Amino acid sequence: SLVGSEMCIETGIQQAHHLTQDEALEFIRKGDKRRAAYHNEHCPTQWGHGDTYDLTINSSRLGLSGTTDFLEDYIRRRIAAEP
């Protein structure tokens, strides 16, 4: 099932490319598969492994505005913490 951000992406893709919901989902899945394959070929880490990410957010929990505020705060703190 899709979470909030995926539903927004799906709707945007549907509108931009004039696709049905099923076609938009397939478009997203194929794009994700291509990105994963590219990443796995060119990077020393494996796509999707949580230990390779600094931060993972379920944006449907905070909404777009709350997620934006959270990320801005996180980035400011990361920059401030750098030597």
Mean pLDDT, all residues of the chain: 85
Binning pLDDT at 50, 70 and 90, where does residue 1 land?
very low
Supply the pLDDT for residue 7.
Answer: 62
Please enumerate in sequence order all residues whose Cβ is within 8 A of that of 70, keeping only pairs 6 or more positions apart, or say none: 57, 62
Q: How far is CA 51 from the centre of its chain?
A: 16
Supply the pLDDT for residue 5.
Answer: 52
**What is the rounded distance in angstroms from the CA atom of residue 68 to the CA atom of residue 60?**
12
Check pLDDT > 90 for residue 19.
no
Considering the entire predicted model, what is its pTM? 0.56
Supply the pLDDT for residue 8.
Answer: 61
Check pLDDT > 80 for residue 3.
no
